[in-house]
């Protein structure tokens, strides 16, 4: 048995002063020689590890040959290095968590229920993702050698001696160091206010840059808006302070459709003006055929399509395709429609059914806000996101290169004042 001081020199880090590095033939692993004996060790990075587990080797494994988890110490003593010496527990856990984190870069959509703030939704998703990333099973704790006093029976006399004992170290334990991941950067796309519901796009990691591309592409969004005739409130919502009550018996489906057609026509004319396109050019014709006409910069709310899905007085349901909108502007739109129908109307519900290339089918429900479901959603949406962004951003870039007209800034290019829609530009 080696003296305690000699054994300490083998197991204590850093390398003793009287040690020197030597090579071992064709082996790339370094070796260490001190006290006249060679000790072949794993790569030098292992000396950053603070703990080693050592145990005697059976005689069948002797002979001085080096393998990756052995130190050959001659015949005086033989010790095995556990795999944790090669890759510490915290490092292995970090690699495992990083692999899951690498699959989180991208865009995905969730369904926001009414009554929930978008900020709380984002925090909830972040908490669930962190919970999933930190839920991985940690590796077995590293072992280190401790020399403990123990009795040794030598005939009739009992003596105390130091024995090398392997004990677990808790320096890298989860309860000591805390969770590996503490925060994720999650971006929110076109936001929804508290009363609204529907598709909300989120970006994780590098996906936050794609959110800016979505803004620059000026993609349209679809809403279903439910209105109620015969009431007027201070905030255009059904639960607001009542301002006026009116009759609505004279309102028909034909009158409503006529008003919606006027709204759509006035906004489509404004869309062409804000796109900086020459209506006499071939480029404008081709973009109109493909439905690729977009404003070159920020503009008031523009409605590209609006129609009535259901008319059951006093309630009616509209489908609105628009861009650069807010949900409050859509509620005010219901109020304006009521005034044009010679009555009043309030908004009962605003629900987003599509945001760019994300639809309700892509939106994850509350029960699906977990690591695995979000990773699957990001992976499924990635090809479509890349294709659609390239398709929508390229025409805009070409138009900027070819167009030399000034940016529209006069009020004459806003939607028709007949429906009092020009007031939306202030939102």
Annotated catalytic sites, by residue? 193
Name the nearest CA neighbour of 337 among 228, 191, 237: 228
Among residues 261, 269, 237, 272, which one has the least CA distance to residue 318? 261
Backbone angles phi, psi at 307, to 5 degrees: -155, 160
Measured CA to CA, the distance from residue 128 to residue 134 in angstroms comes to 10
State the DSSP H helix or E strand holding residue 6, giving kind and residue range, or none if neither: helix 4-11
Can you list the positions of beta strands (E) in 85-177?
106-112, 143-154, 157-168
For the chain, count helices (H), then strands (E).
Answer: 9, 18
User: H or E element: which one contains 212?
Assistant: helix 207-217
Locus of tokens 């209105």: 227
Residue 285 makes CB contacts below 8 A (sequence gap 6+) with none
CB 40 within 8 A of CB 47: no
Category of 260 on φ-ψ map: left (φ > 0), alpha (ψ -120 to 50) or beta: alpha
Q: How far is CA 204 from the centre of its chain?
A: 2
Closest CA to 125 of 212, 214, 210, 200: 200
Positive or negative, the Cα torsion across 387, 111, 268, 213?
negative
> For residue 395, which phi and psi values (nearest 5 degrees)?
-60, -35
| Calpha distance 38→76 (Å, rounded) | 12
Ramachandran angles phi, psi of 211, nearest 5°: -65, -40
Coil vs helix vs strand at 307: strand
**Cβ(296)–Cβ(274) below 8 Å:** yes
């Amino acid at each position: 048995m080696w003296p305690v001081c000699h054994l300490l020199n083998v197991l204590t880090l850093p390398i003793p002063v009287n040690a020197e590095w030597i090579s071992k033939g064709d082996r790339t692993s370094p070796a260490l020689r001190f006290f006249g004996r060679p000790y072949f060790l794993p790569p030098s990075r292992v000396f950053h590890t603070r703990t080693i587990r050592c145990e005697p080797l059976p005689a069948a494994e002797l002979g001085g040959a080096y393998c990756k988890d052995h130190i050959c110490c001659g015949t005086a003593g033989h010790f095995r290095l556990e795999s944790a010496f090669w890759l510490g527990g915290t490092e292995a856990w970090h690699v495992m968590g990083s692999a899951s984190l690498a699959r989180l870069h991208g865009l995905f959509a969730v369904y926001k229920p009414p009554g929930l703030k978008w900020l709380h939704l984002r925090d909830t998703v972040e908490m669930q993702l962190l919970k999933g990333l930190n839920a991985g099973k940690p590796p077995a704790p590293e072992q280190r050698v401790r020399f403990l006093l123990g009795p040794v029976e030598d005939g009739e006399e009992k003596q105390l001696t130091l024995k090398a004992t392997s004990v677990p170290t808790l320096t890298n334990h989860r309860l000591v160091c805390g969770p590996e991941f503490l925060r994720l950067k999650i971006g929110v796309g076109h936001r929804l206010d508290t009363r609204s519901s529907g598709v909300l796009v989120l970006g994780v990691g590098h996906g936050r840059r794609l959110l800016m591309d979505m803004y620059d592409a000026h993609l349209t969004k679809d809403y279903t808006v439910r209105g109620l005739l015969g009431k007027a409130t201070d905030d255009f919502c059904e639960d607001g302070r009542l301002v006026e009550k009116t009759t609505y018996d004279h309102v028909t489906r034909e009158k409503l459709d006529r008003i919606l057609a006027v709204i759509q026509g006035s906004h489509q004319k404004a869309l062409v003006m804000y796109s900086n396109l020459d209506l006499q050019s071939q480029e404008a014709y081709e973009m109109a055929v493909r439905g690729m006409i977009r404003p070159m910069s920020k503009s008031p709310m523009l409605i590209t399509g609006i129609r009535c899905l259901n008319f059951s007085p006093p309630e009616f349901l509209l489908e609105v395709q628009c861009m650069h909108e807010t949900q409050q502007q859509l509620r005010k739109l219901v109020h304006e429609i009521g005034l044009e129908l010679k009555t009043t109307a309030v908004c009962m519900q605003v629900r987003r059914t599509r945001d760019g290339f994300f639809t309700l089918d892509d939106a994850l429900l509350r029960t699906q806000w977990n690591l695995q479901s979000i990773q699957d959603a990001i992976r499924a949406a990635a090809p479509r996101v890349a294709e659609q962004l390239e398709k929508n951003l390229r025409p805009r870039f070409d138009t900027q290169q070819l167009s030399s007209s000034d940016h529209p800034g006069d009020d004459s290019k806003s939607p028709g004042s007949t429906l009092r829609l020009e007031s939306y530009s202030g939102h």
